[in-house]
Structure 1
Amino acid sequence: MLKIEFTKVNDHFILSLSGEIDASNSVDLDAAIQEILEQGAKKILVDGTQLEYISSAGLGVFMSYLEEFQEKEIQIIIFGLLEKVHQVFIILGLDKLISIKNTQEEALEAMA
């Protein structure tokens, strides 16, 4: 099961993910990101502290937005990933494409 919440804090959005992202619910993640973008987000923090699992479909959602983020100069930083979830990003090389930090404080500091 996946739970998605997002809040706007100052000049950035925090997208909180809890549970598991797989092929059956990755469309919900896609819809949440789309909604944040429609609200004019330029800085997105993804809170992964409660994310227990992400499948390739879930990772595909993030990958599908990378070009748009770059074109529109939207900054995205993921923080707080469990080690096993972080490993999936590393194995697929996504840690080279998306900034991943250990804590929300580090993510905020990294945000330009």
Structure 2
Amino acid sequence: MLTIEKQQENSSYILVLKGEIDASNSVMLDQAMQDLIATGTKSILVDCEGLEYISSAGLGVFMSYLEDFQEQEIDLKIYALSTRVFEVFKILGLDQLISIYANKKAALEA
């Protein structure tokens, strides 16, 4: 089960992810990303404090936007990953491609 909540803080949009992202619901994350891009925002933060699990399909959603974000100068920051979820990002080398922060404060200040 996955819930995605959208919040706005100053000029940044925050996606709050809770639950698990797998092949069956990764399309929800994809749609949420598309919705934020459509707003014209230049700053997207992803709150993963409540994210318990992410499959390769979920990681694929993030990977599929990296080039678009670079071209459109959209800043993507992920924060509050659990150790288990962070390890998955690390194994695939996403920690080198996406800015990952310990908490919301660090992500907003970066």
TM-score, normalised relative to structure 1: 0.97
Matched pairs, number: 110
3-state SS in 2 of match to 1:73: coil
What's the counterpart of residue 82 of structure 2? 82
Stretches of structure 1 lacking an aligned partner (at least 5 in a row): none
- Runs of 4 or more, structure 1, over 3 Å off, are none
Show the 5 A alignment for 1:38-77. Answer: 38-77=38-77
What's the counterpart of residue 104 of structure 2? 104
Kindly report the root-mean-square deviation, in angstroms, between the aligned alpha carbons of the 2 structures.
0.5
Q: Distance in 1 between matches of 2:36 and 2:85?
A: 23
Q: Distance in 2 between matches of 1:9 and 1:100?
A: 18
Q: Percent identity?
A: 61
CA offset digits 1:11-65 (Å, max 9, x no partner):
1001100000000000000000000111111101100000000000000000000
Q: Distance in 1 between matches of 2:9 and 2:82?
A: 24
TM-score, normalised relative to structure 2: 0.99
What's the counterpart of residue 13 of structure 1? 13
Q: Distance in 1 between matches of 2:101 and 2:109?
A: 10
What's the counterpart of residue 3 of structure 1? 3
